Each structure stands twice: as C-alpha cells, then as structure tokens.
C-alpha cells in the first residue's frame, strides 16, 4: 500500500484501495493525524466484533480502548476493559476477529488454558497459534510506515 504525505495547511486523511493520503502542516502532525484515524477505524471494527461476540457469550466488556503499544496485540484489564494495540489493524481480518474473540473469552475464562482456547475457537471457527501472530509482528516491525505510525513521541 502506498503512503503519500502532503505538507499543506489542510488536515485530511483518505484511505482507499490505491493507498493512503495524508495532508497536514508537518510530517509529524500528518503521522499523528493518521494514527488517530487508524485508531478510530480499529475501534469501530473491534466494537462491532465485541457486539457480535457479546450476543453469543452473554457478557460484555466495560469498555474498549485502542492504544499504541509495541508488544501485546490486546489485553483485558482487571476492570474488564479491552485494550487493543493499534498495530492489530495491520492483521488480516480473520486475525483481528481472533484477537477480539480471545479477549472476549477472557471475560468468561481468565486463563489461557484449553477451555479458553476452545471458547475462542468456537467464536471464530479457527485456532491461530502464537507463531502465526509472531510472523505478522515481524512483518509490521519491518514496515517503515508502521514503524513511524507506532512511534511514540513525548
């Protein structure tokens, strides 16, 4: 996918099959704008999955957050809030479904045991091994655009 940044007074993000175009007054602001746009996209996608899985499980998290994080794909807080890593958006759709289902399964079963894995598999119809997710972790870490998007600035 092609990423084009245009330095201009406008602030705009357009994502289509041909690529991503971001307009902003500076490159740093362009990446920040893109980061916020991608966070909103992931939150919208994950929210619809949470609703779907909530109907099947009969449980619902207290909230859903999207953050820039380099390690885990997602987690469930002690307060039952699902926290998704922005990089999750770079995964194929079935992997995003799996990550959300995995966290939803933690609302029923906090551990990573056989029962929790079976529950996740029942929700999405497939079992994704950690090694498969690690391959995407490697690919995302080698992508210059994602590296810039995930860079945290102080």
Task: Describe the crossing of helices 27-57 and 93-108 by its angle, rounded to 10 degrees.
Answer: 50
Q: Does the structural domain 42-149 have CATH classification 3.30.365.10?
A: no
Q: What pLDDT is attached to residue 62?
A: 97
Domain ranges of the chain: 42-149
Matching residue, tokens 């705009």: 12
The pLDDT assigned to 52 comes to 97
pTM of the full structure? 0.90
pLDDT of residue 18: 85
* CA distance linking residue 54 with residue 140, whole number of Å: 29
Dihedrals φ, ψ of 65, to 5°?
-125, 150
pLDDT the model gives residue 140: 92
The predicted pLDDT at position 1 comes to 66
In tens digits, what is the pLDDT along the chain, a chain of 154 residues?
A: 688 999 999 999 999 888 899 999 999 999 999 999 999 999 999 999 999 999 999 999 999 999 998 889 999 999 999 999 999 999 999 999 999 999 999 999 999 899 999 999 999 999 898 899 999 999 999 998 898 888 865 4
Q: Are 60 and 50 in contact (CB under 8 A)?
A: yes
Q: Three-state DSSP class for 12? A: strand
């Amino acid at each position: 996918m092609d990423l084009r940044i245009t330095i201009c007074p406008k602030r705009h993000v357009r994502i289509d099959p041909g690529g991503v175009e971001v307009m902003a007054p500076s490159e740093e602001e362009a990446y920040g704008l893109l980061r916020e746009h991608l966070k909103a996209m992931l939150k919208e996608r994950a929210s619809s999955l949470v609703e779907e899985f909530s109907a099947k499980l009969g449980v619902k998290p207290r909230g859903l957050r999207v953050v820039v994080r380099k390690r885990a794909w997602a987690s469930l807080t002690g307060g039952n809030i699902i926290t998704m890593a922005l990089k999750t958006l770079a995964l194929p759709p079935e992997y995003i479904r799996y990550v959300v289902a995995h966290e939803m399964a933690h609302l029923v079963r906090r551990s990573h045991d056989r029962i929790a894995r079976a529950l996740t598999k029942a929700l999405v119809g497939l079992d994704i091994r950690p090694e498969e997710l690690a391959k995407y972790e490697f690919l995302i870490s080698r992508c210059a655009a994602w590296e810039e998007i995930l860079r945290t600035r102080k």
